[in-house]
Structure 1
């Protein structure tokens, strides 16, 4: 699943980065690497940009950038699962 397919409130974990080299480097420099858990905070009405929260950082990215981030959903709105900690 791609990060761009998530909805507001979804929680996920990064499984791979398949973006072009420059974008992948920027995303990794910000700390969004394989194994990082995050929560989708906002998605603009047309789906671009997408704002996520991880490691105390609010990070906004374009939909084309989010298409290159492969994720695995770990929770949804109101499930009371923490964003970090043991894997489910």
Structure 2
């Protein structure tokens, strides 16, 4: 199983590798700022991610394992990350 999805579409237990950061927002200045923040948090191309937990209301926020770190994101922020899913 190897397909490409937005990280915001992932479900609990999904694993993958980041293949693209950015390119989601319609407002250029917001897109650049979000991409910078995501990169600072370790969301870089090639990083391994796993969705660990989803919030109770609207499945938001999501808790992720990024390489060896744990990070929480809103799904709208996660929509800026494209991952290639891999089998668990």
Under a length normalisation based on structure 1, what TM-score does the superposition of the two structures give?
0.79
The total of aligned residue pairs comes to 76
Aligned counterpart for 1:13 among listed residues 12, 17, 24: 17
Q: Name whichever structure is richer in helix by fraction.
A: 2
Whether 1:71 and 2:83 are equivalent positions in the alignment is: yes
State the Cα distance separating 1:31 from its structure 2 match: 1.2
Whether 1:29 and 2:40 are equivalent positions in the alignment is: yes
Under a length normalisation based on structure 2, what TM-score does the superposition of the two structures give?
0.79
Conserved in 1, the CA contact under 8 Å of 2:14 and 2:50? Answer: yes
Conserved in 1, the CA contact under 8 Å of 2:18 and 2:83? Answer: yes
Q: Deviation string for 1:32-68 (max 9, x for gaps)?
A: 1001011110111312111101232110001110011
Whether 1:54 and 2:66 are equivalent positions in the alignment is: yes
Point out where structure 1 has 5 or more consecutive residues left out of the alignment: 80-88
Structure 2 residue aligned with 1:3: 7
Point out where structure 2 has 5 or more consecutive residues left out of the alignment: 25-30
Rounded Cα–Cα distance in structure 2 between residues aligned with 1:63 and 1:57:
18
State the Cα distance separating 1:10 from its structure 2 match: 0.8
